[in-house]
Structure 1
């Protein structure tokens, strides 16, 4: 069964993960986000109970 032969596929998977981990990921993590979150205080609203007509 050729599906069980890990010879070429393991090397391809290993090289792709190493490429991602060592080259692509540091480039992506070094980017600064353009939308920085603001320090707004969140307003809380008091929830009113629903008046069900059958109770």
Structure 2
């Protein structure tokens, strides 16, 4: 069965991952994020208890 022969496909996959890890990934990680996380408010939320009709 020719699809089980890893000769051409394993080398193509390996070269693709090496290209991604060494060339593309550092360029993508160098971009700054637009939506930076903001600081959380420390005031607690006011919650009201739920009244269940069967209790």
Deviation digits for residues 11-49 of structure 1, max 9, x if unmatched? 110010001000000000111112222224244214322
The residue that corresponds to 1:29 in the other structure is 29
What RMSD, in angstroms, separates the aligned Cα atoms of the two structures?
1.6
Q: How many residues get paired?
A: 55
TM-score (norm 1): 0.79
Could you list the runs of 4 or more consecutive aligned residues of structure 1 that deviate by over 6 angstroms after TM superposition?
A: none
CA separation of 1:54 and 1:38: change in aligned 2, threshold 3 A: closer
CA distance in 2, matches of 1:42, 1:20: 41
TM-score (norm 2): 0.79
